[in-house]
């Protein structure tokens, strides 16, 4: 009986250590820096088609310090379970010029409304972005990508 109690105690100790480690990992992931797998053609040539592991930090957007040229992770306004990677082209009040794919590629200029950002993929020929679903509210931004860790031959900073 006593043996069982000591085994249970030891197991509980180990479990609590693992739980605390996972807790720390989760806090770092959510509030500091987190890795993401970004795949798809919409950010070529910056990000690969077959998937890059990028690091994104969660501090800048909370301080309001993301701006045009930054690559950001945004919760998709059309599919709330999906997070997309795009580049910010304009903040609220900015005038953004683009070729509108929904009306024959005519050149259009919009003013980004208050509280919103305009996001576009680097590969405008294969990107579902603000040219289709309009400017997105700033509150949907989840992080700013700043570093790529995989594949190893493109290890390094991502930047404007």
Catalytic residue numbers, as ranges: 42, 86
Judged by CB under 8 A, the number of residues near another protein is: 16
128 near another protein (CB under 8 A): no
132 contacts 105 by C-beta, under 8 angstroms: no
Position among 114, 125, 152, 160 found at the interface with another protein (CB under 8 A): 114
Least gap, CB of 111 to another protein (angstroms): 14
63 near another protein (CB under 8 A): no
Shorter beta-carbon distance to another protein: residue 45 or 80? 80
48 near another protein (CB under 8 A): no
Structure token digits, residue 57: 């930090």
Query: CA Rg, the chain, in Å?
Result: 21
Position among 53, 122, 137, 150 found at the interface with another protein (CB under 8 A): 137
CA–CA distances in Å: residue 116 to residues 26, 74, 86: 28, 12, 14
Structure token digits, residue 112: 């980004």
Closest to 75 in 3D by CA, of 132, 158, 140: 140
Q: Which residues of this protein are in contact with another protein, per CB under 8 A?
A: 23, 75-80, 113-116, 136-140
């Amino acid at each position: 009986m006593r043996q069982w109690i000591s085994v249970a105690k030891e197991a509980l100790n180990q479990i609590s250590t693992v739980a605390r480690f996972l807790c720390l990992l989760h806090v770092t992931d959510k509030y500091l820096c987190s890795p993401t797998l970004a795949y798809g053609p919409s950010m070529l040539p910056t990000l690969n088609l077959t998937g890059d592991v990028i690091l994104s930090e969660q501090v800048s957007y909370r301080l309001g310090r993301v701006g045009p040229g930054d690559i950001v992770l945004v919760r998709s306004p059309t599919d709330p379970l999906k997070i997309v990677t795009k580049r910010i082209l304009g903040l609220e009040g900015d005038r953004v010029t683009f070729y509108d794919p929904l009306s024959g590629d005519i050149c259009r200029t919009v003013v980004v409304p208050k509280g919103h950002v305009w996001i576009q993929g680097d590969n405008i020929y294969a990107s579902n972005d603000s040219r289709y679903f309009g400017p997105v509210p700033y509150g949907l931004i989840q992080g700013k990508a700043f570093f790529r860790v995989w594949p190893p031959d493109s290890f390094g900073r991502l930047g404007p």
